[in-house]
Amino acid sequence: YPFRTAAELLAHCAVVGGNFSDVMYANELAGRTGAQVREGLLHIRDVMEECKNSALAREGLLPGGLKVRRRAPAWHARLRAEDPDRDPAFWQEWVNLVALAVNEENASGGRVVTAPTNGAAGIIPAVMFYATHYTEQVRSAAPEALAEVVDAIVVKFLLAAGAVGVLFKEQASISGAEVGCQGEVGSASSMAAAGLAEVMGGTPEQVENAAEIAMEHNLGLTCDPVGGLVQIPCIERNAIAAAKAINAAKMALWGDGDHRVSLDEVIITMAETGRDMSTKYKETALGGLAVNVVEC
Ligand code: SF4
């Protein structure tokens, strides 16, 4: 089921009678067994998890000279004290924590899963954390069935997010050097929104709408890392973009899938906006925060 555009992907969904993840899964089966696909996706989840856990164990300043303090370990300790029973009221704080942890690990040269890039690597793990802790199927699962339910969510989430990643790579770019941060954080937010919308039971049209909403509200996002380090604004930006993705999925699910702006239109707009963007805002650290924040 080859596709470059969301329109083609939606057409395939109608043919297979499934969603974004079903089309991706069918395509993956051309080169692997179903067990290998599942195993590979769960391995990606495990590496994301190790990345977060590694960051939670590291205190102190991030390397590079900006004197940026790691926040994830202290936030984790506070959350464990204030939210020992995973009260849903704290979902935002946990999502923030995962995004920060993964990006602190990236900023210190640790192992991350590019999703789709290093700078944006915290968004998909953070939104997937939401999907595997706060969705209805997780909260209603019997304890003995929980691990299986969570694995099924992860597989579906990553396949749907990957399908949207294909759309960005085919029609625009996921490179901050080419199109600014909208291509990195915007693409990741859009991919995560699609994954969550599908896990939460969205139709293909609602999943496409979720991805569209998340990207639309990241259009024009510049890349202006202070000191050329992937720390400010990158680390916090991942948490903000994760929140946008969750909101985009929720907004799409409150609609019926019918919407005015298509995902393809937004992706093409991102590519054009990126082409028009000054090189000052494309990973050169020559504009924006990179020149207005004093490096000391
Ligand atoms: S600001 Fe630039 S370096 Fe930082 S996450 Fe965005 S694209 Fe990556």
CATH number at residue 231: 1.10.4100
pLDDT single digits (tens) 83-133 = 999 999 999 999 999 999 999 999 999 999 999 999 999 999 999 999 999
| Nearest Cα residue to 131 out of 256, 249, 257 | 249
pLDDT of residue 71 exceeding 80? yes
Distance from the CA of 234 to the center of ligand 1, in angstroms? Answer: 5
In a domain, 244, yes or no: yes
Q: Atom 1 in ligand 1: which residue has the minimum CA distance?
A: 223
What band does 294 get if pLDDT is binned at 50, 70 and 90? confident
In a domain, 178, yes or no: yes
Query: What pLDDT score was predicted for residue 232?
Result: 97
Query: What pLDDT score was predicted for residue 243?
Result: 98
Residue reference for tokens 């959350």: 79
In a domain, 266, yes or no: yes
Query: What pLDDT score was predicted for residue 132?
Result: 98
pLDDT of residue 289 exceeding 90? yes
pLDDT of residue 174 exceeding 70? yes
Cα–Cα distances (Å) from 226 to 29, 175, 289, in that order, read 43, 18, 6
Mean pLDDT to the nearest integer, 19-45 = 98
Query: What pLDDT score was predicted for residue 296?
Result: 60
In a domain, 282, yes or no: yes
pLDDT of residue 236 exceeding 70? yes
Q: Which atom of ligand 1 is nearest to the CA of 183?
A: 7
Distance from the CA of 184 to the center of ligand 1, in angstroms? Answer: 7
CA dist., res. 192 & res. 241, Å (int) = 9
Q: Tell me, using a 6 A CB cutoff, whether residue 290 lines ligand 1.
A: no
In a domain, 1, yes or no: no
Query: What pLDDT score was predicted for residue 52?
Result: 98
Q: Tell me, using a 6 A CB cutoff, whether residue 99 lines ligand 1.
A: no
Q: Atom 4 in ligand 1: which residue has the minimum CA distance?
A: 234
> Domain residues for 99?
6-292
pLDDT single digits (tens) 179-229 = 999 999 999 999 999 999 999 999 999 999 999 999 999 999 999 999 999
Give the chain's domain count. Answer: 1
Mean pLDDT of the chain: 97
pLDDT single digits (tens) 40-57 = 999 999 999 999 999 999
Q: Tell me, using a 6 A CB cutoff, whether residue 283 lines ligand 1.
A: yes
With a CB cutoff of 8 Å and minimum separation 6, the contacts of 157 are 21, 128, 131, 195, 196, 198, 199
Q: Atom 7 in ligand 1: which residue has the minimum CA distance?
A: 181
Quick check: 215 and 267 in contact, CB under 8 A?
A: yes
